[in-house]
Amino acid sequence: MKRVYTVVSILFFSLVTFAQSGTRFMDNRPWQEVLQRAQRENKLIFVDCYTSWCGPCKQLATEIFPQEKMGEYLNKRFVNAKYDVEKGEGLAVGKQYEKEIKVFPTMLILTAQGEVIHKVSGCRPADELIAAIEEGLQGNTIYNLRKEYDRGNREWSFIQKFLHLLETASERKEYEKVAREYASRFPIDSLLNKDIWDIVGKFVIQTPFSPEFRFAVEHIDDLDSKGLVNRYQLESKLSEEMGFAVNSIFLVSNQKHSEDSLAKLQEKIDYLRTLLKKPVKGFPESLAELSIVESKIKNDTNQLYERLCVLVECGFANRDLFLSDMLKYLARNLNNEARLKRCINIAEYMKEISSKSSWVQEGFDEVITLANQKLESKK
């Protein structure tokens, strides 16, 4: 019994010591108290902005901030505060700094008057977090570098530093804007340069109608041979974005169009078709779907039916929503009894092999109901 008591005492003492050696926070205290203490102690303020549902926030709180090295670094330099910005005292803090808090967790470095001078986002190991905070204390903040960028600095070393800080602060939109602006100064084949690809590659493959996207599709072999991409991952991403593009055409096809809008839509279809003929994994499926959408836009119901049957027979039927909507269109517009029955058979088949989610099943059930109603009306 005495031995058990001793072990428990040692564990308790270790936990208490660990907690005391880590970061000491003013936990959800009134904001004015934090400001007053910082002014009294002539310190900067470190604020951990978190939410109760944020996993990385909990990891920071339980694994990073309690570490002795974090305590030694933060406690000496800052008045440390933390707020759940979705309740209590944190609501006002969250509202006051809402332009800075884009993701959780976000850590703000403030003057004793509450002016933001630096921020770091996301959970990271203690050494990396300390380095990111220290970088701001040395004057390398997005606020200072933004001013320098606006004054026209476009040196590569500066751009790299600015982009690094924007990424650290989770300023994704500004990162993309700066990266794109920098890359646009060079010919499009500069995408084969590692430095350029590293800063803009993840963005240029998200816009199928851009010349950069087309370049990536047409130069997969070059990007792969230079070691700039993982070919499998790049093809998957290109295919995913092309699928979204085809789906956007499909959604637009449900609207009424003037001759001018139809002509513009056809231009987009022709452009996508050209790209989708490239040997990229997943493109044949999107090309088949695009051909069906084109038939719908032309109100050619029989051609749509024939193409849809081929799509299913060839095993290209992998988007439940697309298929159920096309089958509904056919059920409403076909008059041929044999073809209506074929639509019912396809819907029943798709119910068996598709997701069992209620909205997916309900979509195919609606096809069956519509087609049966049409058949009943013919008797």
Q: How confident is the model at residue 11 (pLDDT cuts 50, 70, 90)?
A: very low
Contact (CB, 8 A) for 199 and 179: yes
pLDDT, the chain, mean: 88
How many Å apart are CA 7 and CA 1, to the nearest integer?
10
Bridge partner residues of 46 (DSSP): 80, 109
pLDDT at 14: 41
Q: How confident is the model at residue 360 (pLDDT cuts 50, 70, 90)?
A: confident
Query: Within the chain, where are the H helices?
Result: 2-21, 31-41, 55-59, 68-77, 89-96, 126-137, 142-150, 156-168, 172-183, 194-204, 211-218, 220-225, 231-252, 259-276, 283-297, 301-313, 320-333, 337-353, 358-377
pLDDT at 317: 64
Average pLDDT (331-336) is 91
pLDDT at 299: 86
pLDDT at 255: 75
How many Å apart are CA 247 and CA 322, to the nearest integer?
8
Average pLDDT (107-127) is 93
pLDDT at 186: 92
Q: How confident is the model at residue 253 (pLDDT cuts 50, 70, 90)?
A: confident
3 state DSSP class of 314: coil
Average pLDDT (370-379) is 84
Non-local CB neighbours of 368 within 8 Å, separated by 6+ positions: 344, 347, 348
The per-residue DSSP string of 128-162 comes to HHHHHHHHHHTT--HHHHHHHHHTT---HHHHHHH
Average pLDDT (170-181) is 90
pLDDT digits (tens, 9 = 90+) for 176-194: 999 999 999 999 999 999 9
How many Å apart are CA 83 and CA 34, to the nearest integer?
11
Q: Which of 36-45, 210-219, 285-294, 309-318 has the lowest mean pLDDT?
A: 309-318
pLDDT value at 242 more than 60: yes
pLDDT at 10: 40
pLDDT at 313: 84
Contact (CB, 8 A) for 78 and 43: yes
Q: Rounded to a whole number, what is the distance in angstroms from the first to the last CA of the chain?
A: 88
Average pLDDT (11-31) is 69
Q: How confident is the model at residue 302 (pLDDT cuts 50, 70, 90)?
A: very high
Contact (CB, 8 A) for 341 and 371: yes
pLDDT digits (tens, 9 = 90+) for 129-153: 999 999 888 888 888 899 999 999 9
pLDDT digits (tens, 9 = 90+) for 48-76: 999 999 999 999 999 999 999 999 999 99
pLDDT value at 42 more than 80: yes
How many Å apart are CA 106 and CA 170, to the nearest integer?
9
The two structure tokens encoding residue 6:
């001793």
The per-residue DSSP string of 48-81 comes to EEE-TT-HHHHHIIIIITTSHHHHHHHHHHEEEE
How many Å apart are CA 236 and CA 282, to the nearest integer?
7
pLDDT at 4: 43
142 closest CA partner among 158, 125, 124? 158
Contact (CB, 8 A) for 334 and 372: no
pLDDT at 6: 42
182 closest CA partner among 194, 168, 196, 162? 196
pLDDT at 20: 56
pLDDT value at 379 more than 90: no
